[in-house]
Amino acid sequence: MYIVGFLGSPRTKGICSRLMQAALDGAQSNGATVKHFDLIKCNIQHCMGCCKCLFDDPARAIGRCPIKDDMGALLEEYSRADGYVFASPVYDGAVTALMKKYLERKIGLTHRSPDAPATIGAARVPAEFKKKGLLIVTGNCPDEYREVMGDPCFEQMGAHWMIEQVETVEQIYVGGTEVLSEADIENRRQKAFQAGIALVDAVNKET
């Protein structure tokens, strides 16, 4: 089993990163092979809205994008995986621009006929809900603000999974990051670790 994590924070040693790594560690402890991608270290250019990847040959698992950067390789890794961890801090009420850029470029995993305007693209290779995902969001606002701070980020990161037929098994919001003690952070890390274990269990139930 292969689980991949994509970090949308520019701070590769911050709380969000530590939580995602804890989830991956949990998955690894449960028998999975894991990989951690810091999107800030990847060459991901802005989507130009040309839709060439979306309209590309429907027989392809990944639509071809004319932009030559790291996104093609990232989508190959993504497609091979059995499960996912997406993690992003809240920036101005939404996921980071870094995560949003990555999400926009994932459109190559869907296809839409040029003869079907004003419709949503369909998954090129539907996962049939055998693949699972875990979402992690961190924010300065405390946990009671999850609905207005965390939920929009969960919706943004999980939207493609609805089309790809990937089941979201858990959503973790960690608020008040500016005032969390090391003990608090460790407690949240343990919860993320357990969520990683549960992610692998959820995938195994489908096999």
CATH code for position 134: 3.40.50.360
- Residue 207: what pLDDT? 78
How many separate domains does the chain show?
1
- Helices 15-29, 182-204: crossing angle, 10 deg rounding: 40
| β-pair partners for 138 | 89, 174
- Residue 14: what pLDDT? 96
Predicted confidence (pLDDT) per residue in 44-102, tens digit:
999 999 999 999 999 999 999 999 999 999 999 999 999 999 999 999 999 999 999 99
- Residue 99: what pLDDT? 98
Average pLDDT, the chain: 96
**pLDDT for residue 106 is more than 90:** yes
**pLDDT for residue 34 is more than 90:** yes
- Residue 69: what pLDDT? 97
Which tokens go with 77?
């890794």
pLDDT tier, 184 (very low <50, low <70, confident <90, very high otherwise): very high
- Residue 117: what pLDDT? 82
Asked if 35 contacts 85 with a C-beta cutoff of 8 angstroms, the reply is: no
- Residue 115: what pLDDT? 85
pLDDT tier, 116 (very low <50, low <70, confident <90, very high otherwise): confident
For residue 31, with 0-12 CB atoms within 10 Å meaning exposed, 13-18 middle and 19 or more buried, which class applies? exposed
- Residue 119: what pLDDT? 85
Q: How far apart are alpha carbons 152 and 173 in whole angstroms?
A: 11
The single-letter code of the amino acid at 48 is M
User: What residue numbers bound the domain in which 189 lies?
Assistant: 2-204
pLDDT tier, 118 (very low <50, low <70, confident <90, very high otherwise): confident
pLDDT tier, 3 (very low <50, low <70, confident <90, very high otherwise): very high
Order of strands across the sheet that contains 167-174: 33-38, 2-7, 83-89, 132-138, 167-174
pLDDT tier, 114 (very low <50, low <70, confident <90, very high otherwise): confident
As a whole-number percent, the residues of the chain with pLDDT over 90 amount to 95
